[in-house]
Amino acid sequence: MKRRWLAIFLLGLGGCAVGGISASTERSSPRVLVLGGTGQLGAMVTRELVAAGARVVVFARPSSDRTTLVGLPVEFVTGDLLMADEVERALRGRRFDVIVSAVRVEDGDPNFYSKMMPSLLVAARAAGVRQFIHHGAVGAGDNVKKFIGLGWERVPGIFERLKDQGEGERLLRESGIRYTIIRNARLYPADHAATGVAKLTEDDTVLTPMTRADLARLTRECLLAAACLDKTYHVRDDSLAWPPPRR
């Protein structure tokens, strides 16, 4: 198992060697907390990490449907990410190498990340987190200025939500925790197979569709990879047609 994880870390992005692997990481599998792990993207990320040997804990609401994770050797902690006391209680006394946020905001709250991030980041620091991988949105914060004229103004509430996404990113960057932000755009249906050619780019004008399976792979490849630390990425996959099919 040690050799398998070492190979993953050395591959990093696009086969580039990465450093910064501690002796403690080599001796044991990384411990990862996945937020939104019962959702479509989160479940794929969880499966990818488990298959690679990570010890995964999934943060979920008590009422969350966990059928997507049946049969996986994962642990659950329960709580509401918007309730600071529940987040603190769920993480109290635990240690994590990485937090992966694959949260989907289903209630349309335009201040979701502004509410969630402060208490979550405090708890993450207390838990010794060395990397926070955040799945965000293309257009977050000032990035939306790169896509003027694409008709986004016809989507009700989108600019308020993108502003909130940007605030969440700002709080993460200023937290002192090493971060990897992966912004996604239009997602293909959850059952669409990975293309295997999707890659991360720091070019923040890139806007292509992608699959959740490829996002899960890219997440695994960035886990504790020095090449990914303190980076904000977009995903490029020129093999997929735009727009994605609807189902």
For residue 123, the one-letter residue type is A
As assigned by CATH, the class of the 29-236 domain is alpha beta
Would you kindly state where each structural domain of the chain is located, as residue ranges? 29-236
Query: Which of 19-28, 126-135, 143-152, 172-181 comes out lowest in average pLDDT?
Result: 19-28
Helices (H), the chain: 2-11, 23-27, 40-51, 84-91, 112-126, 158-173, 212-222
- Confidence band, pLDDT 50/70/90 cuts, at residue 244: confident
User: What pLDDT digit, counting tens, does each position of 155-191 carry?
Assistant: 999 999 999 999 999 999 999 999 999 999 999 999 9
Cα 157-199-239 angle, rounded to 5 deg:
85
Mean pLDDT (the chain) is: 89
Measured CA to CA in angstroms, residue 13 lies from 2, 204, 222, 226 at distances of 19, 17, 7, 10
How far, in Å, CA of 94 to CA of 89, rounded? 10
- Confidence band, pLDDT 50/70/90 cuts, at residue 19: very low
pLDDT at position 246:
73
How far, in Å, CA of 148 to CA of 139, rounded? 10
DSSP code of residue 141 = G
Per the CB < 8 A criterion, the answer to whether 13 and 228 are in contact is yes
How far, in Å, CA of 92 to CA of 128, rounded? 11
Residue with tokens 């896509």: 147
